[in-house]
Amino acid sequence: MASGEVILRGLTKRFDDQLAVDGIDATINGGEFFSLLGPSGCGKTTTLRMIAGFERPTAGEIVLDGVDVASVPPHERNVHTVFQNYALFPHLNVFDNVAFGLRRRKLAKDEVRRRVQEALALVELHGLANRTPRQLSGGQQQRVALARALVLRPAVLLLDEPLGALDAKIRKQLRVELKALQEEVGITFIFVTHDQEEALSMSDRVAVMNAGRVEQVGSPPEVYEDPATVFVADFLGVSNLMEAEAVGSGRGECMVRVGEFVLRAGCGDTAACGAVKIVARPERLELLSHEDQRENRLPGMVERTVYVGASRQVIVRLPTGAAIQASVTNTGDAEMYRQGKPVSVYVPAGALRVLASGPAGERSDPAVPASEHAEPSGVRS
């Protein structure tokens, strides 16, 4: 039984003069839900297409269960894909779409029928076998695409923004179902997305990509709460990124100066010194009245309040000129967050993270998170 472990070593793809993927190292464990997250053009889809076999790497290895498959054609890889627009064959009905791969393997008719029914049951589409793809809703098409790939029992399932074409409500519902399905079948899922919420809510681990490189690999809480680079902090949600100066450290804490105020920062690169960047998530900030005398406060003025239902996003302009965003639970009291009101932003030391300044690319060291999980890659089959 294949375990579905994928190791990428120095994976590189160059299109003409453009470096799409720049030496990626990563280990994707068998049975893991692994997301490649990044903005468009970061190389995540190219990486996926190389694992599928549609693109040939310029350099590097793709080791699938101990065998380098970098130059194996796509139809001979035990890796299947769910495409962004599903690519269901429009001239075949649901049954024939799902049976397509089984028939290529020359399985007996009964076996094909049995496994197609099984796969359709798995994605809860029994009874729709005779429909054509265009007679199905977007969500149903997506399930057919899943069934068509899963029926072949791949070692690894690749998903290229499979929820992108659906509307918001179905997308949220399928997110839960997709994760449940992955746990049920126990297959390695490699999921490409630019939607951080999708990646965080479903993945066991996330690789945040930027400009063809992996910035950080980690569990969703790790990448969200312990971003290794400025890019990761900024890409995953609102980070309130600010320039600051580290003016002294000790006992795992660091004093940073923002304008004329000095704050205690409790996490990140607390040994740093000189120009740094600091980040703090909006939901970890508190808004206090202007008179409050607690430490680690930044005074400011409410510039704008955005009502989003369950919470309010309050944008506070600081005397330094920077704006900071705080997310406040909706308690029904709007008076405090009225535009122009002077407030204090309390930044708990444990929520204030120091990131050494400098280009994001230089800070990241993709080899470190990769080797952390690398196991001796003996042939396991």
Partner 1 sequence: MTVTGIGARELATPAAPAGPEPVRRRRLLPAVLRNPWGRPRFLVLTTWVYIAWALLPVGIAMLFSFNSGRSRSVWQGFSLRWWWTDPSFSVFHDPDYTHALVHSLELAALDMLIATPLGVLLALGLARWRGRGSGAANGLMLVPLVTPEIVMAVSLLVVFTQLAIVPFALIHLGTGAQVVGQVTFSLSYVVVIVRSRLASIGPEYEEAARDLGATPIAALRLVLLPLLLPAILASMLIVFALSIDDFVVTQYMSSNASTTTIPMFLYANARGGTTTPALNALATILVVTTLIGIGVAYLIYTALGRRASTGEVSALRDLSGLETA
The CB-of-18 to partner 1 minimum distance in angstroms stands at 14
The angle formed by the CA atoms of residues 207, 210 and 214, to the nearest 5 degrees, is 40
Count of residues touching partner 1 (by CB under 8 A): 30
154 or 369, CB closer to partner 1? Answer: 154
Binding of residue 56 to partner 1 (CB under 8 A) = no
Binding of residue 378 to partner 1 (CB under 8 A) = no
Residues 291-330 that bind partner 1 (CB under 8 A): none
Residues 228-267 that bind partner 1 (CB under 8 A): none
d(CA 295, CA 160): 47
185 contact partners, CB below 8 Å, separation of at least 6: 122, 150
d(CA 40, CA 43): 8
87 or 367, CB closer to partner 1? Answer: 87
Applying CB under 8 A, which of residues 10, 39, 73, 359 lies at the interface with partner 1?
A: 73
53 or 227, CB closer to partner 1? Answer: 53
The CB-of-153 to partner 1 minimum distance in angstroms stands at 12
140 or 240, CB closer to partner 1? Answer: 140
103 or 290, CB closer to partner 1? Answer: 103
The CB-of-106 to partner 1 minimum distance in angstroms stands at 10
Applying CB under 8 A, which of residues 4, 43, 53, 366 lies at the interface with partner 1?
A: 53
187 or 345, CB closer to partner 1? Answer: 187
Residue in this structure with the two tokens 């000790």, named with its chain if needed? 250
158 or 246, CB closer to partner 1? Answer: 158
The CB-of-335 to partner 1 minimum distance in angstroms stands at 55
74 contact partners, CB below 8 Å, separation of at least 6: 52, 53, 54
The CB-of-262 to partner 1 minimum distance in angstroms stands at 56
147 or 326, CB closer to partner 1? Answer: 147
Residues 127-156 that bind partner 1 (CB under 8 A): 132-135, 148-149, 152
The CB-of-141 to partner 1 minimum distance in angstroms stands at 11
What secondary structure, in 3-state letters, does the chain show? CCCCCEEEEEEEEEECCEEEEEEEEEEECCCCEEEEECCCCCCHHHHHHHHHCCCCCCEEEEEECCEECCCCCHHHCCEEEECCCCCCCCCCCHHHHHHHHHHHCCCCHHHHHHHHHHHHHHCCCCCCCCCCHHHCCHHHHHHHHHHHHHCCCCCEEEEECCCCCCCHHHHHHHHHHHHHHHHHHCCEEEEEECCHHHHHHHCCEEEEEECCEEEEEECHHHHHHCCCCHHHHHHCCCCCCEEEEEEEEECCEEEEEECCEEEEECEECCCCCEEEEEECCHHHCEEEECCCCCCCEEEEEEEEEEECCCEEEEEEECCCCCEEEEEEECCCCCHHHCCCCEEEEECCHHHCEEEECCCHHHHCCCHHHHHHHCCCCCCCC
Binding of residue 83 to partner 1 (CB under 8 A) = yes
* String of contacts with partner 1 for each residue 90-119, x by CB under 8 A: xxxx--x---xx-xxx--------------
d(CA 192, CA 38): 8
The CB-of-112 to partner 1 minimum distance in angstroms stands at 10
97 or 210, CB closer to partner 1? Answer: 97
Candidates 20-28, 48-56, 198-206, 258-266; binding stretch for partner 1 (CB under 8 A)? 48-56
The CB-of-32 to partner 1 minimum distance in angstroms stands at 21
Candidates 84-92, 216-224, 282-290, 294-302; binding stretch for partner 1 (CB under 8 A)? 84-92
Where on the chain is the footprint of partner 1 (CB under 8 A)?
A: 52-54, 73-75, 80-81, 83, 85, 87-93, 96, 100-101, 103-105, 132-135, 148-149, 152
